[in-house]
Amino acid sequence: MTDKLPIQPSGPVEGSIRPPGSKSITNRALVCSALAQGESVLEGTLASEDTEVMIDSLRRLGIPVRVEEEGRRLLVQGQGGRIPASEAELYTANSGTTMRFLTALVCLGRGVYRLDGVPRMRERPIQDLLDALGQLGAEARSEQNNGCPPVLVHAQGLRGGRAEVAGNISSQFLSALLMAAPCAQQEVEILVRGDLVSRPYVDMTVAVMRRFGARVEELQPGRFLVQPLGYQAATYPIEPDASAASYFFGAAAMTGGRVTVEGLGKNSLQGDVAFCECLRQMGCQVEYGMNEITVSGRAERGIDVDMNAISDTVPTLAAVALVAEGPTRIRGVAHMRHKETDRIAALATELRKLGAGVQELPDGLVIQPGPLHGAEIETYNDHRMAMSMALVGLVVPGVVIRNPACTVKTYPGFFDDLAKITRKI
């Protein structure tokens, strides 16, 4: 793909799209199936950098994963909670799910494991997870003693017991602990300390675990109990990615078009379908079918919204806010500063380039639409920056996306799919 991709104004978009499988569900299902007893079949999986580094790491740990149908079907030979390899070097690129989930998973092994990633990954916090694993009997530490990767694990199995974990940085810490817990030597009780960000992702984790036979209960809000009964193999279909769907819903809202996303419904396992309700508040029409969601009409007005639970869709809403009447305030997403880039700062910088007035808050943004103009958009090697800012080019001439190939992290075919509803890219 070219280093710079011009986006052409499209007029109202129209069409039907089925995004690839959910990255979040795919990587959770890979972990559970790797720890299960027997062979699992994962259908509709996502083929992307984030899932490829997870598969590569599992193979390095001695867990066979067979890829079929160009990555849309995976066969995983579970090891019954064992980690066959006694040592491994694991490269996670900039995949937070892979780094955090596998840090907990390798604690079940017996040996020495090192996990590393790209330079940005070495800036992303993981100490809260390491502390919680220590409370469960693991020896896992930050190699540079700065609370960030690389991570070094000296594993002798996971004892279990009781642990507390902070909830304000990333829900992935709690998800990592939960998924490893069924293979601990005794039951595991986990208490969440403070507010838990991105709560729907924890619900997703628990739902996937249960599909693979795990016994996990939430005794009271923020207090989880997991029985050491392991996992059983399963055939598991993966939903289309709701975060990816937000870009097509956003395209309809920005252009006054109509887009249907197939494979998702109001009761999706993924909390990010709630993004559609933000668009409804902005004046769009939202129709829920049994297995599809349709968004139509232009976003007419700005809103004030807490997006803590659906923070991956914040860049999309920030783009849509540019065409609305009046300011949009996005709150409750301070943890976005620890993503692939500091997304709050990055969005503020790029939206200002386009002519918007932006107030950067500690936990979000206030976006005031202004006379918009084209600009060359820096993506910070962040897939969500590239995909969301591309939407602006559908209504503003002269928008150019730098490093569009960064979308391979979760959606290699994004620009091809966007072209299907615009015919202008």
| Residues with catalytic function | 312
Edge-to-edge order in the sheet of strand 14-17: 14-17, 258-262, 292-296, 285-288
8 vs 423: CA distance, rounded Å: 9
Q: Are 54 and 33 in contact (CB under 8 A)?
A: no
Q: Are 124 and 382 in contact (CB under 8 A)?
A: no
- Residue 220's CB is within 10 A of a number of other CB atoms, namely 8
191 vs 337: CA distance, rounded Å: 24
Q: Are 180 and 205 in contact (CB under 8 A)?
A: no
- The helix (run of H) or strand (run of E) holding residue 329 is strand 328-331
- Residue 360's CB is within 10 A of a number of other CB atoms, namely 15
Q: Mind giving me the DSSP string for 182-210?
A: GGSSS-EEEEEESPPSSHHHHHHHHHHHH
The torsion region of residue 198 among left (phi > 0), alpha (psi -120 to 50) and beta comes to left
Tokens at 424, concatenated: 């202008």
Q: Classify burial at 217, counting beta carbons within 10 Å of its beta carbon; exposed 0-12, middle 13-18, buried 19 or more.
A: exposed
Tokens at 12, concatenated: 């109202």
